[in-house]
Amino acid sequence: MKEDRIVQRIYSRIDEIPTLSPILQKIISTVEDSSADARDLTDIITNDISLTSKILKVSNSAYYGFQQKIGSLDRAVVLLGFNMIKSLAMSVGIIKTLPAQDKGSYFSRERLWIHSLAVATVMKHMAETTGRKEDGDALFVAGLLHDIGKVVLDQFFAGEYQQILEETGCLESSSVCEAEIKHFGMDHGDVGSILLKRWNFPGEICDLVAMDHKSDVPEKVNDADVAMLHIADILSKEAGMGVSESITSTEIPESDLAALGIDKNGLASFRDYLTEAKDGIYSFYSSLG
Ligand SMILES: [Fe+2]
Ligand SMILES: [Fe+2]
């Protein structure tokens, strides 16, 4: 009973978060609508001038490395692909929807989004190199939003969350999740998943985000997706793109490598890929500013 009350507190605060703009809701609904085409998507996005200009800025950033300037959304769709533009619109829209960082915040939002972009980038690459190219864009979105629950906890439970983070002495160790569960009845993966469900994100993305720090994969969730999230998270922290400034090195569980069907060489190639993508990731973030 007491536990229910604790969890209820999270739900009622999440209810206070604004619903997404009608344009973002429409974009999300096209994710599961296989009849929606590029024209539908560009028609929706061009209704929002600021979203359009942000997407064009990101498309022109070093993240994608195109030589020629991309001047229109139609051109961006041709060069980046329909699905990537959809993922970009969702990502850019959501980063902009969440309230800006409060002064008293314990962790840097900038670091959180750079970390998230790094995880998203590696996950998309993992999908492409393990024969699952068609899932790359959904995995990009899941990677980008996997730690969004931290933003919710930081925003609505600032004092309590700060205390937890201070007591555990770290921003992202497994003891933080244990403390979150003890204090809030769930960890930040669950919190993020609840928020995304409320925003009508596809079920697979919500379920995957909930698995951020869990290893018992339920049947409805693809264990290769979970492995990608876990590995991309660790690699990003190793590359200095964690939420905390300190560089951490965590052993990647053999079970995650097996679920993804890769060996140590495969892992090394993901590590190299991220090192090369690093400058682009920073330029992606700065083009959102
Ligand atoms: Fe996390
Ligand atoms: Fe993370």
CA distance 278 to 207: 28
> CB–CB of 221/211 below 8 Å?
yes
Query: 103 pLDDT band (50/70/90 cuts)?
Result: low
How far does residue 49's CA lie from ligand 1's centre (Å)? 32
**Is the confidence at residue 104, as pLDDT, over 70?**
no
How far does residue 26's CA lie from ligand 1's centre (Å)? 28
Ranking 84-88, 100-104, 275-279 by mean pLDDT, the lowest is 100-104
Looking at the CA of 144, which ligand is closest?
2
Structure tokens at 162: 């700060």
How far does residue 71's CA lie from ligand 2's centre (Å)? 33
Predicted confidence (pLDDT) per residue in 173-190, tens digit: 678 898 999 999 999 999
Predicted confidence (pLDDT) per residue in 53-75, tens digit: 999 999 999 999 999 999 999 99
- Residue 97: which region, alpha, beta or left (left: phi > 0; alpha: psi -120 to 50)? alpha
- Around 122, how many Cα atoms within 13 Å sit in the side-chain half-sphere? 33
Query: 249 pLDDT band (50/70/90 cuts)?
Result: confident
What residues flank ion ligand 1 with Cβ within 5 A? Answer: 147, 212
| Helix ranges, 60-135 (H) | 73-80, 82-97, 109-129
Predicted confidence (pLDDT) per residue in 125-145, tens digit: 999 999 999 999 899 999 999
How far does residue 280's CA lie from ligand 2's centre (Å)? 19
Write down the domain spans for the chain: 18-97, 101-288
Largest CA distance in the chain: 60
| Among 55, 26, 12, 48, CA closest to 200 | 26
Looking at the CA of 213, which ligand is closest?
1
Domain range 101-288, CATH class:
mainly alpha
If you average pLDDT over every residue of the chain, what do you get? 90
Looking at the CA of 187, which ligand is closest?
1
Report pTM: 0.93
Residue 143, pLDDT score: 97
How far does residue 176's CA lie from ligand 1's centre (Å)? 9
Residue 66, pLDDT score: 94
CA distance 104 to 110: 15
| Among 156, 153, 184, CA closest to 171 | 153
CA distance 100 to 106: 13
How far does residue 214's CA lie from ligand 2's centre (Å)? 12
Looking at the CA of 242, which ligand is closest?
2
